[in-house]
Chain A
């Protein structure tokens, strides 16, 4: 398996634009997590899915962020409208179950100017 695949690796966009981050989980992993990493806040959980259903999105600013998992092999994180404070590295991670190893993708470095 190629591991967790995220795209794009880098994204530069202007404030106010829509941004869509994509993730392909490892086959057979029922849990999918979206994390945001910044120097100030570290790794913050935005949302996670179990079997395509949202389990917790309390860390996600819901006025501008939305996350979907339309099928077991694809998830998106959308930001609309984007703001400079959204600049960060966004990681997707997947696992077989709760309290098992989480496998992280390479991340998407987002810069909003």
Chain B
């Protein structure tokens, strides 16, 4: 089955700097790659996603890149702000039914943005 590895597990940056989180996946059939942000005491919330027919996607200060050949994708946050501090999860899915339709999550990255 699919396996998603996420690095680093913790990341500390100064306000205004950029943050990059990287994930690799194992199943070449995966075609959907969302990123979720989880704040303390809350459920994860989607911040951006990318599909396998796209190499890069941007939404204001957030961007995601996908390299299907290497089977890795990354989250880039520019001009970080203290409110970006949270745990970020990457995930991958093939989108088929049954057991292959599941979102498999990475273990998460705790991002701390210091003022």
Contact = CB atoms under 8 A, between A and B. Distances in A.
Interface string A75-110: 000000000000000010100001101111111000
A98 B44 CA distance: 17
A32 B101 CA distance: 12
B78 to A, nearest CB: 23
Contacts of B51: 99
B25 interface: no
Chain A residues touching B, majority SS: strand
**In this complex, which of B41, B103, B108 has the most chain A Cβ atoms within 10 angstroms of its Cβ?**
B103
Contact of A99 (B32, B98, B99): B32
Interface size class of A (residues with CB under 8 A): 20 to 34
B23 to A, nearest CB: 12
A56 B101 contact: yes
A99 B37 CA distance: 17
Interface string B22-64: 0000000001101000000111111001010000000000000
A12 interface: no
Given A43-B108, A99-B31, 17 more contacts: A4-B43, A33-B102, A33-B103, A43-B89, A43-B105, A48-B101, A50-B97, A56-B98, A56-B99, A56-B101, A56-B102, A98-B93, A99-B51, A102-B46, A105-B43, A106-B42, A106-B43
A45 interface: yes
